[in-house]
Amino acid sequence: MNFDTYIDRNQYPTMKWSREFLAEHFGNEEAIPMSVADMDLKAPPAVIEQLQKRTAHGVFGYEYIPDSYFIALENWYKNRHGWHINRQHLETCPSILNAISILINQHSNINDGVILQTPVFFEFRMVIKSNNRKIVKNPLKLVEGKYHIDFDDLEAKAGDPNNKILILCNPHNPVGRVWSKTELEQITAICKRHNLFVIADEIHGDFAFPPHQYTPYLTVSADTMPNVATCISPAKTFNIAGMVDAITIIPHEAHRHQFHEFAHRYQINKTNVFSSIAIETAYKHGADWLDSLLVYLQGNINMIREHLQKNSINVSLIDPEGTFLVWLDFRKLGLEAKELEQFLAHDAKIAVSPGYWFGREGAGFARMTIGCPQKTVQRALDNLTNAVNDNR
Ligand SMILES: Cc1ncc(COP(=O)(O)O)c(C=O)c1O
């Protein structure tokens, strides 16, 4: 597999790469695009081939999701993650955020608290706010370069009767933790004790670097508590975010029925012909491609680590255990959050997501998307190093 090829994404209106997006969010159209969490890499060849075949067929009428799709998905999770998904528990819907928004609506009321483990994927905040719920933080603790869950604080927040939901990001975007079985069990014990509903967002589940292993949250919680739903999707895994649906797994029958009714009422239970064929093909034939990608991503990460060590520019890497995102620590540069944002976009000319976007706890950090050719990462590192040296 060759992930080194540069692909011009501006042939299509790509968010991350468009001049308008770069101007609006970074004030610099020339900055290297490394913000949005998709990859500048082609999808697995089998997926491209099947989509070409499907396009050549020329008829794109209504379809249903075939049995073979669900079998491919079940086999993927069973073979790769030892997780036996019960087909009866699955619900499809257009996107993970869509599913999270529905679940928030169904398992809390207006003004209730939804707990987030900050710094965390910023769209969670938008979904909570747009549903008129309150964001309650259970900030992660950074200890000697590794983020941990503050379980005492979680216990306290979960114990507040105003708080109804925890959104768990497993593995965690942006800090790259792949939560261990023990950590997930601790979460379960707390949430069960306080009757909190857990929404586990596992969109990054396929990205764990050995020896770390992704533990699907339902494998540690489903037998113990009813109040849980997990959202999965092959969008990130195979870089097909622009076309796929998401899957929500809800073991508890009444909760699932409620979700199903909603999807039916708002008619968001349709699929599209490209999405279902892409998902089925990727889960059937994408394993080798993903294995190669994981090796390539670790190569990018090693390059970043070595570059930062060699050049002593006071920027450090929070070593990711998974995801295709790296969380960089700029605190030693001594810049305020907005100054750092300016420095990165204008001096270093890299469009990375400033840490404060992920919550106040992220100030002084930034998230860089590294699902791209090694050359792009190298260019970004060179830009960064030159900018730090010029500013000394
Ligand atoms: C943790 C996490 N959840 C959800 C999403 C978005 O998923 P979707 O496009 O299916 O809503 C992303 C995208 O970056 C993500 O990182």
Q: What mean pLDDT is predicted for residues 344-360?
A: 98
Residue 1's pLDDT band, with cuts at 50, 70 and 90, is confident
CA atoms within a 13 Å half-sphere pointing along the CA-CB vector of 43? 25
Residue 300's pLDDT band, with cuts at 50, 70 and 90, is very high
Note whether 271 and 298 are same-domain residues.
no
Q: Probe ligand 1: pick from 36, 97, 236, 237, max atoms within 8 Å of CB? A: 97
Note whether 77 and 198 are same-domain residues.
yes
Per DSSP, helices labelled H in 250-336 are 253-265, 273-285, 287-311
**How many domains does the chain divide into?**
2
In a domain, 200, yes or no: yes
Note whether 262 and 318 are same-domain residues.
no
Note whether 257 and 111 are same-domain residues.
yes
Note whether 76 and 192 are same-domain residues.
yes
Report the predicted TM-score, pTM, of the whole model to 2 decimal places. 0.97
Domain end (from 285, 319, 349): 285
Residues having CB closer than 6 A to ligand 1 are 37, 95-97, 121, 169, 173, 201, 203, 233, 235, 241, 246
Ligand 1 atom at minimum distance from 98 CA: 11
Distance between CA 369 and CA 265 in Å, rounded? Answer: 37
Map residue 164 onto helix, strand or coil. strand
Query: In which domain, by residue range, is 218 found?
Result: 61-285
The whole-number pLDDT of residue 325 equals 98
Ligand 1 atom 14, closest CA: 37
Q: Residue 301 belongs to a domain with what CATH number?
A: 3.90.1150.10
Provide the percentage of residues in the chain whose pLDDT is more than 70.
100
Q: How far is the CA of 257 from the centre of ligand 1 (A)?
A: 24
Q: Kindly tell me if the per-residue pLDDT of 245 is higher than 90.
A: no
Task: Check the CA dihedral 277-279-283-288 and report its sign.
Answer: positive
Note whether 386 and 360 are same-domain residues.
yes
Q: Which phi-psi region, left, alpha or beta, contains residue 207 (left: φ > 0; alpha: ψ -120 to 50)?
A: beta
Q: Probe ligand 1: pick from 173, 175, 324, 353, max atoms within 8 Å of CB? A: 173
Note whether 329 and 188 are same-domain residues.
no
Domain end (from 285, 311, 346): 285
Domain end (from 285, 318, 341): 285
In a domain, 209, yes or no: yes
Question: What is the residue whose two structure tokens read 């994981």?
Answer: 294
Q: Kindly tell me if the per-residue pLDDT of 288 is higher than 90.
A: yes
Q: How far is the CA of 38 from the centre of ligand 1 (A)?
A: 10
The whole-number pLDDT of residue 391 equals 87
Q: Kindly tell me if the per-residue pLDDT of 87 is higher than 90.
A: yes
Note whether 80 and 166 are same-domain residues.
yes
Note whether 364 and 386 are same-domain residues.
yes
Q: Kindly tell me if the per-residue pLDDT of 224 is higher than 90.
A: no
The whole-number pLDDT of residue 77 equals 98
Q: 36-66 pLDDT, tens per residue?
A: 999 999 999 999 999 999 999 999 999 999 9
In a domain, 134, yes or no: yes
